[in-house]
Structure 1
Amino acid sequence: MALTAITLLCFAALLPFPGLGLPADSGKLKQIPVMVTVKNDFTDEDVSYAATVIEEGLMFGALNHLQDSNTGFKFSYTIHKTFGIYLESVNGLAGSDKDQTYWELWSEKAGVTTRLEVGIGCYQPQRDENLILRFTKWPEN
């Protein structure tokens, strides 16, 4: 419930602003380096892309910037009325309710890897962070 509320608040807070929550002095926006790593638990695929994001920007912006840079990285998303921006597919591979697969979001900073508790529309990457998009299966009950 708390995750739902946080995600909804992050998404709703950005809707009225054309800059999508960018800093007030957006004329002086600075790009910071990040990595985006695509991992597939089923094929052992592990591909990394050098990327940038606007300082204090969102993961969603970093993924869009990476996709626009013609590096071979592609992603798609949907906007869920409750949960906000939902990562749907990466490089043509989409999650499936039938197969119980999805894209899980992780972060690696200074050698510490953690699972993100918010989605691509709320998470603010930091300089030199590795944003991990992990294709996996959800736990069985």
Structure 2
Amino acid sequence: MVYRDLFLLSMPLLTCLSCPMVFPTDLEEDQITLIVFNSLINDTKNYITKIAHRGILLGAMRRLQKNHMLNFTVTEYPDYGPFLVSVNGLARNDTQKTYWEILDKLQNGTIIRPDVGVGCFIPNPNDTVILKFTTWKKKDVTTV
């Protein structure tokens, strides 16, 4: 009885060992274009990089940073993940109401604003991702 139980308990382990293992270096890669656009002075820089298939934007940005092509900083918020602070030395500024906006230009030309940040956004293959340095307008709040 003990041997039968040991045999039954070992079956899932044997099944797992016979499955092919996938390691991060074996993943399929896609290509995206990353545009860094400073809308305040109309300055644009274009980058073409690889991204793991279904990988996050932050991974593609880190790949560019590792190759000394792009420099950026993020702040990690426990509840929300990484928040883009600066790109190529240009940082967001609450006093000047500036920030980095993430936009995605789809293959059909439509530009959308993802509802997630650099740590969760998954670009599609061949998409153009735009990091746009821009300002926000203070909304008028009226009391009801």
Q: Which TM bucket (shorter chain)?
A: 0.7 to 0.9
User: With structure 2 as the length reference, what TM-score do the two structures score?
Assistant: 0.77
By how many angstroms is 1:125 displaced? 1.3
The amino acid across from 2:89 in the alignment is G
How large is the Cα RMSD of the aligned pairs? 1.3
By how many angstroms is 1:34 displaced? 0.4
Measured against aligned partners, the alpha-carbon deviations of 1:102-136 in whole angstroms (never above 9, x if no partner) come to: 00000011111111110001011111111100001
By how many angstroms is 1:52 displaced? 0.9
Which of 28, 31, 34 is matched with 2:32 structurally? 34
The amino acid across from 2:51 in the alignment is V
* Pair 1:97-2:94 in alignment: yes
Measured against aligned partners, the alpha-carbon deviations of 1:76-118 in whole angstroms (never above 9, x if no partner) come to: 1010122210001000000011111100000011111111110
* Pair 1:138-2:136 in alignment: yes
Equivalence for 1:84? 81
Number of matched residues? 117
* Pair 1:129-2:120 in alignment: no
User: Cα distance 1:125–1:26, how it changes in 2: closer, same or farther (>3 A)?
Assistant: farther
Whole-Å Cα distance in 1 between the matches of residues 92 and 68 of structure 2? Answer: 23
Measured against aligned partners, the alpha-carbon deviations of 1:26-78 in whole angstroms (never above 9, x if no partner) come to: 3530121101100111100111101111101111101000111222x111101
Equivalence for 1:106? 103
User: With structure 1 as the length reference, what TM-score do the two structures score?
Assistant: 0.78
Q: Higher RCO, 1 or 2 (CA under 8 Å, sep at least 6)?
A: 1
Look at both structures and tell me which one has the larger radius of gyration over its CA atoms.
Answer: 2
Structure 2 residue matching 1:65: 3-state secondary structure: helix
Which ranges of structure 2 fall in alignment gaps of 5 or more residues? 1-20, 140-144
Equivalent runs, 1:60-71 vs 2, <5 Å: 60-71=58-69
Structure 2 residue matching 1:118: 3-state secondary structure: coil
